[in-house]
Structure 1
Amino acid sequence: MKKRTQVDMIREALADRIVHGYLKPGDPLDETSLAAEFGVSRTPIREALRQLETNGLALSRPHRGAIVTNLSARQLTETFAVMAELEAFSARLCASVLKGGALGEFQALHDSGAEAARMNDIAAYRRHNERFHAAIYAGSGNGFLEETALAVRRRLAPFRNLQFEAFRRPEASHREHAAIVDAIIDGDGERAANAMRDHMLIVREVVDAVEHSPPLEA
């Protein structure tokens, strides 16, 4: 493998772990152990971590190595506020853009998450949740909005994933999604935007509760 290919592969693998919650905010990204895992020298690991830092997924600490990005409470609140407005705008546009069969497909996508929510299958619901929000970005019909929302979402992914550690959170999330879906299908952009904004603010509150909850006893 060429060095560039190694860097791409390692960056994508680590980004996938972060985005899907296998690596959490504050988790160490140790160059030596990662080099051993991927069977490479520390050089491509260091470059992959640098690229993750550029993308906002990793944070380099002088003399202490890199960790998965861990934002301060203020930074998290500010970023979630921007994310909420991007999502609300996407939902508003989606309500006016989606027509005909696309509405049925959107409803089917939402319904496909019901079983994972009911079973509290966190891994499956995380995947469904990602597809659901991505469909709303795409459904806005605005390519730049979709690109921007995906970028901010990726930056917040480690924190958004924390919400599902709350008890029965998939069920609650699915109910919140239902209000968004109903508004979009009704073509009510304002209601869709408000429902999405409310959903995102709840996610922020749940993330904060999970971060500050005491660890469970074994």
Structure 2
Amino acid sequence: MAVMLENSIAGEEDLSLSERAYRHLRDRLIMLDIRPGDPINDGKLAAELGIGRTPVREALKRLESDHLVVSYPRRGTFATIVDITELADVSELRESLEPLAAKRAAKLATPALRAEIRETAAAIAGMGGDDDPYDLMRYDIKVHRLIYRAAANAHLEDVLIRYDNLATRIWCMVLEKVPSVSSHIAEHVELLEAVADGDSERAGKLALEHVTSFEQAIRNVL
């Protein structure tokens, strides 16, 4: 099961080159396709993406503000180290904001988004326990971004994507040690159905439970 993130570089010709590069590199960084501490060569990335170096450099500046890369004078740019000690701080913020986004999504999602949410829930419900854990994590990212988009608040969406990205990097660091990634992803089915049904209180409750179980799962393997 190959899962494509909605923000992959393919099929986004309407976006600027800088935005396309940003989204592509962001997803590689959060899934640890670019490993923590790895040097980042803007020329090589530009060649891989078939674009100039300027859009890549602009993307890297944004990624630095997202705490996904760090630049050092005369040394270059590197993927940031995943700091497990940030888990508590990231979780504290997500425990407040994820339920808010889920409640807003349940109230404000458009009919088209509700249909997409139901389709995603059905796809997750049909998954098996033998699916690739990294594909499962891509579904996790897709679900969260879908809810954030449905919440219809660009500022909330931007903040939550940043913190979900940091949380995903932490999760991917311990992914091989987590007993059942599929059960974590399966939690999304009820949440998505609550959002699609317009049940804001249930959606908020399930979102909080999901974030809390995420943190506990990480702590169990540390």
1:108 pairs with 119, 123, 147, which one? 119
In our comparison, the structure showing a higher alpha carbon Rg is: 1
Distance 1:36 1:203 in 2: 37
Equivalent residue for 1:3?
none
1:156 pairs with 149, 160, 167, which one? 167
Equivalent residue for 2:143?
132
**Aligned pairs, number:** 199
1:190 pairs with 174, 178, 201, which one? 201
Alignment of 1:95 with 2:106, yes or no, is yes
Distance 1:208 1:103 in 2: 34
Matches within 5 A, 1:24-173: 24=35, 27-30=36-39, 34=41, 52-59=63-70, 66-73=78-85, 75-98=86-109, 100=111, 102-162=113-173, 164-165=175-176, 166-169=178-181, 171-173=182-184
AA partner of residue 143 (structure 2)? F
AA partner of residue 133 (structure 1)? H
Distance 1:147 1:49 in 2: 17
Equivalent residue for 1:216?
none
Q: 1:204 to 1:62 in 2, by over 3 A?
A: farther
TM-score of the pair, normalised by structure 2: 0.69
Distance 1:82 1:63 in 2: 35
Deviation at 1:182, TM superposition (A): 3.1
Structure 2 portions without partners, runs of 5+: 1-17, 48-53
Q: 1:117 to 1:197 in 2, by over 3 A?
A: farther
Distance 1:142 1:127 in 2: 23
Distance 2:45 2:109 in 1: 44
Distance 1:56 1:148 in 2: 13
Deviation at 1:16, TM superposition (A): 3.2
For the 8 Å contact 1:11–1:49, the answer to whether it is kept is yes
Deviation at 1:78, TM superposition (A): 1.0
Q: 1:37 to 1:92 in 2, by over 3 A?
A: same
Alignment of 1:177 with 2:203, yes or no, is no
TM-score of the pair, normalised by structure 1: 0.70
For the 8 Å contact 2:124–2:189, the answer to whether it is kept is no
Distance 2:204 2:169 in 1: 24
Deviation at 1:118, TM superposition (A): 3.4
Structure 1 portions without partners, runs of 5+: 1-6, 213-218
Q: 1:9 to 1:106 in 2, by over 3 A?
A: closer
SS across alignment from 1:183: helix
AA partner of residue 144 (structure 2)? H
